[in-house]
Chain A
Amino acid sequence: MSEDFVRIEGVSKAFGSGAPALDQISAAIKGGEITGLVGPDGAGKTTLIRLMTGLLLPDAGTLTVLGFDTRREAARIQAAIGYMPQRFGLYEDLSVQENLDLYADLRGLPQVERAQVFDELLSFTDLKRFTQRLAGKLSGGMKQKLGLACALLKKPRLLLLDEPGVGVDPISRRELWKMVKDLTSEGIGVVWSTAYLDEAEACTSVLLLNQGKLLFTGPPAELTRRVDGRVFKVTGIEGRRRPLLASLLDRPGVLDGVIQGEAIRIVTEPGARQDVLREGEGTKVNPAPPRFEDAFVDLLGGGPGGRSKLAEATQTQADADTHVIEARGLTKRFGDFTAAQDITFDIKRGEIFGLLGPNGAGKSTTFKMLCGLLKPTAGEGRVAGFDLRRDTAEARNRLGYMAQKFSLYGDLSVAQNLDFFAGVYGLKGQHRRDKIKLVTDIFDFARYANQSAKDLPLGHKQRLALACAVMHEPEALFLDEPTSGVDPITRREFWTHINGLVEKGVTILVTTHFMDEAEYCDRISLIFRGKSIALGSPDELKARVASADNPDPTMEDAFIALVEGSEKEAA
């Protein structure tokens, strides 16, 4: 079991003239266990996996996979491994069985073995009932399982999985994980790449990558040990917790902090005393078990401060206790498919409301109905009192929108993007110049002003998107998966701004499939298969599923328990 399946020695790889995608990586991957390849988007995970398959060759250094050199013996490696790329090459117009047949042909699986192998894999992935279904009609989780089945056709010794957890609901994700875990007991080596830090925690060992550099390699617990005794949970907070977080973050000795439901999670600097967190009478500070993410942030030198210059420059919204966003029985059907069914909620001014659910559950549909991009089949949505389907440009001037992924104009420079959005939102003359200057200073765009937006690093793209969405000081801000795939530092910086804006009375609707991010919200609605299956604050939802076995459930535990509960109810 201690044999090294993959040996990576001093490997570097660059594309074009920019920073290298991988810089001097040395590590080893063992058989019979799951090795996590962990890091934000653009860290170099996919490049490293492709180097292991021999599809790419390193600029420097060597990779040995199962004893074969990737430069000289790529074909032998490819015959012995299973590789599942990020978007597995399933043919969506072919059925499950036809996809399996095709890959069996491609991999040269002998006819006589097929019946047995298919039978095993289909029962293993629980796809037996769906063999005639078109691959395009499968859910995200089932697609990944089929992809896995195709990668396992010729039993590989090493299985390379590139972000298998993306776009998959937590239940399917756990199933997928369990399947892969079973494989390791047969001695197969598994590489599981992920941007989710909670997945990293479950791996036997990890390679933590950031911007092409290997930050850590070893068992995840070894990494989290570095923050042992430095992680605290601040509970019983009187008053608003976001300004408290901001103030805590700016205290000396505080390294990192995030909102976690009603509480605040803090990581202190080594040697800092717990007193720095003292705050008011009722507030309690208790040590908390460290997480992978805490250690990652620590490794990166700590999170940003708590001040948001953006929020400071924003005018406070009239503090009326009104509902800014209202959804009343929002329903959307596409043909006979119900994408969203009877979704109802109200969002108060200055509240962060989250729509939490896996991809394809209906959160984006709900989101788009509210901001006027989709017409509801039934029900209505209002923002700041306006129905955005019918009401005019002035109504849309009150909302800011940050789309899933990066959706600015990549061919335009940073300055041109800012100029365009300022113009479209009707900012004029001196006011416009002031606003552009302000966001340029806050987000430090001056260095990048003439660079095409598409060439920016991911974190800067995300800052630019936020800047473009808030220059006109919207009352309500719509954020669709705003921080998926970005590194934890950028995510914290982003939420610092959001937290600051909320204190100024801006109302936020955010969609996320990221369970941890849901904790930053005041209230969340769990969306699953088009329905809102639960609505409440993160702590309420977690408390609802707490049991003797699991007194302190995570958001993911809560999600899974609530989904299972709602399915039982439906049955």
Chain B
Amino acid sequence: MWGRIHALIIKELLAILRDPRGRLVIIVPPILQLFVFSYAATLEVTNVDIAVLNRDSGKWGQELIQRIEGAPSFRRIQRTDEQKKVHELIDRQEVIAAVQIGPDFSRALEAGRAGEVQVILDGRRSNASQIVAGYLNQIIARLAADLATPRQLSAAVTIVPRNWFNPNLTYIWFTVPSLVAIIALLIGLIVTALSVARERELGTFDQLMVSPLRTHEILIGKLTPPMLIGLFHITIYVLTAVFFFEIPLRGSLVLLYGSALFYLASVVGIGLFISSLSMTQQQAILGAFVFMVPAVLLSGFATPIENMPDWLQPVTYVNPLRYFLVVVKGVFLKDIPLSEVLHNTIPLALIALFTLSAAAWLFRSRLE
């Protein structure tokens, strides 16, 4: 039995890696993706322009503008004195927000009253606008705090935030570990989804089915090579993350790899499942993407699962990415404890068990 599986594994690896183009496809795009996405997939808002309409002639209006100009997130501050111009700038998306300082701003502040500042945001870019609003709020609040008399200050509650695990909230610390999981999903899914579909398209699948290989042997032979490739990718990513992006690796690599085995098994199981459903490679690729896109969206990578509607949240329970994201981020950013790894790996094992059995069942029944 091992002889047969061995022959099949060697064949699968050769089929993927013997062709120089095949080798290139397996190695180059995933690494490029890691770099491109690491820089691209950021929710931080930088390099945006702001319009300022200052109707105040006092010094505090100037002070506020200088502070806004000094903030690193904004690229250019467009000063204007016309309401109409503000409209135009926002209409043409030249600026994401406009700050209007009221005519008695300085006077009000000096009198100890509240000064008025209006912030107009471009709701078409709602997410970025909200973040910009947050930045502006901070700047204005700081100004207010600096102005406050000691008595007022002692009455105010000051909040001193501290970000655990990622003290500077460096975005890359969040994206790179997540990308390790997502790219492993992408490659694992496509390599396996193509494997059976390609054989079916070329007619070699019948050849396998009439050979003495048993279904579970075909399954093992088909799932081992993509898992090996997946582990290879994960290793490269971890090395890149640690040595190139200088992301801390605080947890245990043993736990990461242990959990990755089940993660890859579940991904490969889904790939094989899609593959056994497809008659052609084109269908397999389409099938892989039909799964990929919701899997990434419903993983908690871009938006927290807790924000999703109640009826949608259970759908994420069958998404292997959801669990492995927790593990991979946990291993990188905090020393994730064994219990939590187990808690997220058991569902992965169950998904793998289910998809692999379904793929095995489909192998035979598709022969009808």
A interface residues (Cβ-Cβ under 8 A, vs B): 368, 371-375, 388, 392-394, 396-397, 399, 401, 403-405, 407-413, 416, 419-426, 428, 452, 478
Bound-state Cα–Cα, A393 to B208, Å: 11
Q: Point out the residues of chain A lying under 8 angstroms from B315, CB to CB.
A: none
Contact A412 B18 (CB under 8 A): yes
Bound-state Cα–Cα, A75 to B367, Å: 48
Picked from B14, B211, B214, the residue with its CB within 8 Å of the CB of A392 is B214
Asked, given contacts A392-B214, A397-B212, A401-B210, whether A375 binds B4 with beta carbons under 8 Å apart, the answer is no
Bound-state Cα–Cα, A31 to B8, Å: 56
Q: Point out the residues of chain B lying under 8 angstroms from A410, CB to CB.
A: 202
Q: Which residue of chain B has its CB nearest to the CB of A395?
A: B212
The reply on B7 being an interface residue by CB < 8 A is: yes
The reply on B349 being an interface residue by CB < 8 A is: no
Bound-state Cα–Cα, A426 to B211, Å: 10
The reply on B203 being an interface residue by CB < 8 A is: yes
Q: Point out the residues of chain B lying under 8 angstroms from A397, CB to CB.
A: 212
Picked from B19, B211, B368, the residue with its CB within 8 Å of the CB of A411 is B19
A-B contact pairs, 13 of them (CB 8 A): A373-B209, A374-B368, A388-B210, A394-B212, A403-B206, A407-B204, A407-B207, A408-B207, A410-B202, A423-B10, A426-B3, A452-B18, A478-B210
Contact A426 B19 (CB under 8 A): no
Bound-state Cα–Cα, A332 to B207, Å: 21
Which residues between 183 and 240 of chain B lie within 8 Å of chain A, taking CB atoms?
A: 202-204, 206-214
A370 to chain B, nearest CB (A): 10
A185 to chain B, nearest CB (A): 42
The reply on B67 being an interface residue by CB < 8 A is: no
Which residues between 55 and 94 of chain B lie within 8 Å of chain A, taking CB atoms?
A: none
B interface residues (Cβ-Cβ under 8 A, vs A): 3-4, 6-8, 10-11, 14-15, 18-19, 22, 202-204, 206-214, 367-368
Bound-state Cα–Cα, A478 to B203, Å: 15
Q: Point out the residues of chain A lying under 8 angstroms from B211, CB to CB.
A: 396, 401, 421, 424-425
Q: Point out the residues of chain B lying under 8 angstroms from A408, CB to CB.
A: 204, 207
A8 to chain B, nearest CB (A): 35
Picked from B14, B212, B214, the residue with its CB within 8 Å of the CB of A412 is B14
A391 to chain B, nearest CB (A): 11
Q: 5 extra interchain contacts, Cβ-Cβ under 8 A, other than A372-B210, A407-B202?
A: A388-B210, A403-B207, A407-B204, A408-B204, A416-B11
Asked, given contacts A394-B212, A425-B211, A426-B4, whether A405 binds B10 with beta carbons under 8 Å apart, the answer is no
Picked from A399, A413, A419, the residue with its CB within 8 Å of the CB of B7 is A419
A431 to chain B, nearest CB (A): 12
Bound-state Cα–Cα, A294 to B18, Å: 43
Bound-state Cα–Cα, A408 to B7, Å: 14
Q: Which residue of chain B has its CB nearest to the CB of A468?
A: B207
Q: Point out the residues of chain B lying under 8 angstroms from A407, CB to CB.
A: 202-204, 206-207
Q: Which residue of chain B has its CB nearest to the CB of A398?
A: B212
Interface SS majority for chain A = loop
Bound-state Cα–Cα, A409 to B19, Å: 12
Q: Which residue of chain B has its CB nearest to the CB of A388?
A: B210
Contact B210 A411 (CB under 8 A): no
A133 to chain B, nearest CB (A): 24
Q: Which residue of chain B has its CB nearest to the CB of A405?
A: B203
Bound-state Cα–Cα, A397 to B10, Å: 20
Most chain A C-beta atoms within 10 Å of own C-beta, residue among B203, B206, B208, B367: B206
Q: Point out the residues of chain B lying under 8 angstroms from A425, CB to CB.
A: 211-212
B361 to chain A, nearest CB (A): 14
Q: Which residue of chain B has its CB nearest to the CB of A417?
A: B11
Picked from A374, A404, A426, the residue with its CB within 8 Å of the CB of B367 is A374
Bound-state Cα–Cα, A408 to B211, Å: 13
Q: Point out the residues of chain B lying under 8 angstroms from A396, CB to CB.
A: 210-212
Q: Which residue of chain A has its CB nearest to the CB of B365?
A: A375
Most chain B C-beta atoms within 10 Å of own C-beta, residue among A403, A408, A421: A403
A251 to chain B, nearest CB (A): 38
Bound-state Cα–Cα, A409 to B201, Å: 12
Contact A424 B203 (CB under 8 A): no
Q: Point out the residues of chain B lying under 8 angstroms from A368, CB to CB.
A: 206
Q: Point out the residues of chain A lying under 8 angstroms from B202, CB to CB.
A: 407, 410
Bound-state Cα–Cα, A478 to B4, Å: 21
Asked, given contacts A409-B11, A416-B14, A423-B6, whether A393 binds B212 with beta carbons under 8 Å apart, the answer is yes
B211 to chain A, nearest CB (A): 5
Contact B367 A423 (CB under 8 A): no
Q: Point out the residues of chain B lying under 8 angstroms from A375, CB to CB.
A: 367-368
Contact A373 B212 (CB under 8 A): no
Asked, given contacts A373-B367, A407-B203, A411-B14, whether A424 binds B210 with beta carbons under 8 Å apart, the answer is no
Picked from A371, A413, A426, A428, the residue with its CB within 8 Å of the CB of B210 is A371
Q: Point out the residues of chain A lying under 8 angstroms from B206, CB to CB.
A: 368, 373, 401, 403, 407
Q: Point out the residues of chain A lying under 8 angstroms from B207, CB to CB.
A: 401, 403, 407-408
Q: Which residue of chain A has its CB nearest to the CB of B8?
A: A424
Picked from A371, A372, A403, A452, the residue with its CB within 8 Å of the CB of B203 is A403
Contact B15 A411 (CB under 8 A): yes
Q: Which residue of chain B has its CB nearest to the CB of A397?
A: B212
Q: Point out the residues of chain A lying under 8 angstroms from B213, CB to CB.
A: 393, 424
B218 to chain A, nearest CB (A): 10
Bound-state Cα–Cα, A129 to B361, Å: 44
Contact B7 A423 (CB under 8 A): yes
B13 to chain A, nearest CB (A): 10
Bound-state Cα–Cα, A373 to B208, Å: 10
B210 to chain A, nearest CB (A): 4
Q: Point out the residues of chain B lying under 8 angstroms from A416, CB to CB.
A: 10-11, 14, 18
Bound-state Cα–Cα, A388 to B8, Å: 21
Most chain A C-beta atoms within 10 Å of own C-beta, residue among B10, B19, B212, B214: B212
Contact A412 B367 (CB under 8 A): no
Asked, given contacts A374-B367, A374-B368, A412-B18, whether A420 binds B210 with beta carbons under 8 Å apart, the answer is no
Q: Please provide the 7 A-B residue pairs with the shortest distance between their CB atoms, ordered closest to farther.
A: A423-B7, A393-B212, A407-B203, A401-B210, A397-B212, A420-B11, A396-B212
Most chain A C-beta atoms within 10 Å of own C-beta, residue among B8, B11, B19: B11
Bound-state Cα–Cα, A388 to B209, Å: 10
Bound-state Cα–Cα, A404 to B213, Å: 21
Most chain B C-beta atoms within 10 Å of own C-beta, residue among A368, A399, A421, A426: A426
Bound-state Cα–Cα, A537 to B8, Å: 41
Bound-state Cα–Cα, A372 to B22, Å: 33
Q: Point out the residues of chain A lying under 8 angstroms from B368, CB to CB.
A: 374-375
Bound-state Cα–Cα, A511 to B19, Å: 34
Contact B11 A373 (CB under 8 A): no
Bound-state Cα–Cα, A372 to B210, Å: 7
Q: Point out the residues of chain A lying under 8 angstroms from B4, CB to CB.
A: 423-424, 426
Bound-state Cα–Cα, A416 to B11, Å: 8
Contact A372 B3 (CB under 8 A): no
Q: Point out the residues of chain B lying under 8 angstroms from A393, CB to CB.
A: 212-214
A331 to chain B, nearest CB (A): 13
Bound-state Cα–Cα, A75 to B207, Å: 46
Q: Point out the residues of chain A lying under 8 angstroms from B22, CB to CB.
A: 411
A244 to chain B, nearest CB (A): 33
Picked from B7, B203, B214, B367, the residue with its CB within 8 Å of the CB of A420 is B7
Bound-state Cα–Cα, A425 to B206, Å: 15
Bound-state Cα–Cα, A412 to B8, Å: 12
Q: Which residue of chain B has its CB nearest to the CB of A428?
A: B3
A123 to chain B, nearest CB (A): 38
Q: Point out the residues of chain B lying under 8 angstroms from A428, CB to CB.
A: 3
Most chain B C-beta atoms within 10 Å of own C-beta, residue among A392, A410, A411, A422: A411
Q: Point out the residues of chain B lying under 8 angstroms from A405, CB to CB.
A: 203
B26 to chain A, nearest CB (A): 13
Bound-state Cα–Cα, A165 to B363, Å: 35
B221 to chain A, nearest CB (A): 9
B276 to chain A, nearest CB (A): 15
B4 to chain A, nearest CB (A): 5
Bound-state Cα–Cα, A375 to B367, Å: 7
Q: Which residue of chain A has its CB nearest to the CB of B211?
A: A424
Q: Which residue of chain B has its CB nearest to the CB of A396?
A: B212
Q: Point out the residues of chain A lying under 8 angstroms from B209, CB to CB.
A: 372-373
Contact B204 A409 (CB under 8 A): yes
